[in-house]
A and B are shown apart, each in its own frame.
Chain A
Amino acid sequence: MYRHIDEFGVIPLLGIAIIIAVFIGVSSAIFDNLLYPNYCYLLIGLGLSLQLSTKKRTVFLKKCFPTQTFWKVRILENTLFILPFSIFLSYKQFYIESMLMHILAIGISCVNNIGIQSFTIPTPFGKKPFEFVIGFRNSFWIYILAYALTFISVVVENYNLGIFSLIIVFVTCMSYYSKPEPLYYVWIHTFTPKAFLYDKLKTAILFTGLLALPIISALTVGFSIVELQFTLMFTCIGFGFIIVTILGKYHNYPSNIPLFQGFALLVSLIFPPLLFVFIPIFYKKAIKNLNAILTC
Chain B
Amino acid sequence: MLSILDLSKKYGKKQILDAIQLHFNPGEITGIVGENGAGKTTLFKCIAGLESFTGEIKYSKVNRKNTIGFLETNPEFLSKITGKEYLQLICNARNLQQIDIEAQNIFQLPLQQYAETYSTGMKKKLALTGVLLQSNDIFILDEPFNGVDIQSNLIIKELLTKLKQKGKIILLSSHIFSTLQDTCDHLHYIKAGKIKKSVKKKDFKIIENLMKDVALDEKIRNFNIK
Binding site for B on A (CB under 8 A): 115-118, 120-121, 126-130, 133-134, 137-138, 181-185, 187-191, 293-296
Contact = CB atoms under 8 A, between A and B. Distances in A.
Interface string B63-104: 111100010100010111110111011101111000000000
Nearest to A181: B78
B94 A130 contact: no
Contacts of A191: 93, 95
Contacts of A118: 113, 117
> Which secondary structure dominates chain A's binding surface?
loop
Contacts, number: 73
A129 B85 CA distance: 6
B123 to A, nearest CB: 13
A126 B85 contact: yes
A294 B68 CA distance: 12
B119 interface: no
Interface of B: 48-50, 63-66, 70, 72, 76, 78-82, 84-86, 88-90, 92-95, 112-114, 116-117, 134
Nearest to A115: B79
Nearest to A188: B93
B94 A190 contact: yes
Contacts of B72: 184
B85 A190 contact: no
A253 to B, nearest CB: 14
Contacts of B88: 126-127, 129
17 contacts: A117-B117, A118-B117, A127-B88, A129-B86, A130-B78, A134-B78, A134-B81, A138-B80, A181-B78, A184-B50, A184-B76, A187-B50, A187-B65, A188-B90, A188-B93, A190-B95, A294-B65
A130 B81 contact: yes
A296 B50 CA distance: 9
Nearest to A128: B92
A129 B84 CA distance: 10
Contacts of A184: 50, 70, 72, 76
